[in-house]
Structure 1
Amino acid sequence: MRLLRSTLDLFFPPLCLSCSKRLKGNETLLCLTCLAKLEWLEGVCSVCGNEIKNKHCRYCSSQHIYFDKVRSLFHFNSVVQSLIHNLKYNETTIVSNFLKSYFEIYLNSYDPFEKIDLISPVPLHAVRKRARGYNQAELLSGKIAKILDTEHIPQLIKRKKYTKSQTQLNKAERDNNVESAFILNNKFDISNKNILLVDDVFTTGSTVNSISKLLKENNCNKVFVLSIAHA
Structure 2
Amino acid sequence: MRSRRLSLVFIARLSRDARTIRPGFTLLELLLVLAIMSVLASVALPQIAWLLGDRRVVRGAKIVREELMLARVDAMREGRIMMLDGMLEGGSIRVRPYVSLTDSVNAVDQTGSQSAMLNGADQGQQVTLVQDPSDNREVTLPEDVTVQSVAVVATARALEVQQANLSNQAEGYSQPVLFYPDGTTSTAAITLAHPVHGQITVRLRGITGDVTISDIGPLQ
Give the TM-score normalised by structure 1: 0.27
More helix by share: 2
